[in-house]
Amino acid sequence: MTNSVKHGRARRIVVSARREDGRTLVRVRDDGQGLRGASRADGLGLRVMKARARSLGASLRVADHPDGGVLVECALPAPDREGR
């Protein structure tokens, strides 16, 4: 969310989470300027976010949203009933 405000100049950020098929899906959508070109898609910040997701066994997708802004989707393995 910090990146949405700092780099994308977003004024509105919507965060949602749900459990589906043994995973926790987290979605962050902003109304900012978007990624502003392919060079931004491989920036250090996005590479770090993807590496952090991988370290948790999660997948991460970051893309410009068709209506403007950016959409970030992260699918994490959901913990079992004991929280593991």
Total number of domains constituting the chain: 1
CATH number at residue 71: 3.30.565.10
Local structure of 33: helix, strand or coil: coil
The answer to whether residue 19 scores a pLDDT higher than 50 is yes
Q: What are the percentages of helix, strand and coil residues in the chain, rounded to 5?
A: 25, 35, 40
**Model's pTM, two decimal places?**
0.82
Q: How confident is the model at residue 82 (pLDDT cuts 50, 70, 90)?
A: low
Whether 82 maps to a domain, the answer reads: no
> Tell me, what's the pLDDT at 30?
96
Give the domain range for residue 38: 2-77
Interval 5-16: pLDDT, tens:
888 899 999 999
Interval 20-67: pLDDT, tens:
988 999 999 999 999 875 445 567 888 899 999 999 999 999 999 999
